[in-house]
Each structure stands twice: as structure tokens, then as C-alpha cells.
Amino acid sequence: MLATKAPDGIYREQIRDFLASNFYLPDADVLEDHTSLIDQGIIDSTGVLEVIGFIEETFGITVEDSELRPENLDSIQGIAHYVTRKKS
């Protein structure tokens, strides 16, 4: 049986790959999906802007000012859920 990943799982992989390529992560595979990227010092305010650019370019969605909230942008899980909601 061929298993397929839900879009949320695919988005998580893309987000993790982006973070590993653009920010200092000693081991991206051990970063838990719910870990706060800001609290762990992985991204700062400039990094948030880079994440927004990545989301808009990669997933073809616009991040509105009213959506700039930690629950949408501060973890792999939050970003994946946000992208899933925006694309549905």
C-alpha cells in the first residue's frame, strides 16, 4: 500500500528544510514541531520577515498584517497549520 502524506506533513518538511537552510540549527531533525522558534533563538524579528517571504513565495499565499501572530508563525506546527488553513 502506498502511503501518502497529508498536505500538513508535506508543509512541515518544507518548513523544516527552509529553517535548516537559512537559520542556525545544530540538528534540524531533533527540532520538535511545536518548539517556539523565537523563544529558542532560532529566528528573531528579521527572521520572521524571512519566514513570511518564504511562506508567500513557496505556498503562493499572502500573509495579512492581522495574521502576524505567534500561533501562526512561531513554530513549524503553527506555520504548517496556518498554510493549510490558508490554502483550503
Domains of the chain: which residue ranges? Answer: 7-87
Contacts of 16 (CB under 8 A, 6+ apart): 28, 31, 76
The average pLDDT across 6-20 equals 91
Among 4-8, 28-32, 69-73, name the one with the lowest average pLDDT. 4-8
Check residue 79 and give its pLDDT: 97
pLDDT for 41-59, tens place per residue?
A: 999 999 999 999 999 999 9
Report the chain's mean pLDDT, rounded to a whole number. Answer: 92
Global confidence as pTM: 0.89
* Assigned CATH for 7-87: 1.10.1200.10
Find the length of the chain.
88
